[in-house]
Amino acid sequence: MLRLTEPVYLRIVGHCLDGLPDEACGLLGGGPGTGKVTVCYPTRNVAASARVYTVDPKDHLKADRDAEGRGLEIVGVFHSHTHTEAYPSPTDVAQAPDPSWHYVLVSLKAGPPVLRSYRILDGKISEEPVVVEAR
C-alpha cells in the first residue's frame, strides 16, 4: 500500500497539470519501508516531451540530499501520462530503476486526474492501493 499525505497528493497532481502539454515528473520522499510519502519533489522533465520523461539529474541529486537531511529516502517516482491510462508503459517497466520504489502514474487523458501506484519487480507490474491521509 502507498500512503500519501494530502499536501503530497495535491502537489503531485498540481505539478502534473502544470506540466501540460508535456509529461511531468517528480520524486517521492518517505521513511524507507514505511510505504508512506511525506515529501514531494517536483522535478524538471529534461526530455520536455508529451511522450517520455527524464528526471533532471541535478534535481534528483538535490532531492536525494534533502530527503537524507530529513532522515528520509527517495522511495518512488511519479509522472504523468498525458494521453494514456495510469498504467506503466513498456518504457516505464524497462527503465524502472529500483525494485524497492513506488511507481506513481497520473493519467490526464480525460476529465479529472487519475492517480495509481505500482511496484515493478523483475519486469512484473503489480498495482497497490493508494490512501490519501490528512498528514
Partner 1 sequence: MTVEVRLPTVLRPHAGGTSSARAEGATIGEVLQDLVRQYPGMAGQLITDGGQLHRFVNVYVNDDDVRYLEQLDTKVSEEDVVSILPAVAGGGQ
Which listed residue (51, 121, 129, 133) binds partner 1 by CB under 8 A?
A: 51
State in angstroms the smallest separation of the CB of 132 from partner 1.
23
67 is a site residue for partner 1 (CB under 8 A): no
2 is a site residue for partner 1 (CB under 8 A): no
In the bound state with partner 1, the residue whose beta carbon lies nearer, of 40 and 96, is 96
Q: What are phi and psi of 90, to 5 degrees?
A: -55, -35
Q: What are phi and psi of 24, to 5 degrees?
A: -115, 160
32 is a site residue for partner 1 (CB under 8 A): yes
Give the separation between CA 43 and CA 24, rounded to whole angstroms: 8
Give the separation between CA 79 and CA 12, rounded to whole angstroms: 8
Residue 119, H or E segment: strand 114-121
Give the separation between CA 22 and CA 49, rounded to whole angstroms: 5
Which listed residue (9, 12, 23, 41) binds partner 1 by CB under 8 A?
A: 23
Stretch that binds partner 1, among 7-15, 58-66, 110-118, 123-131 (CB under 8 A): 58-66
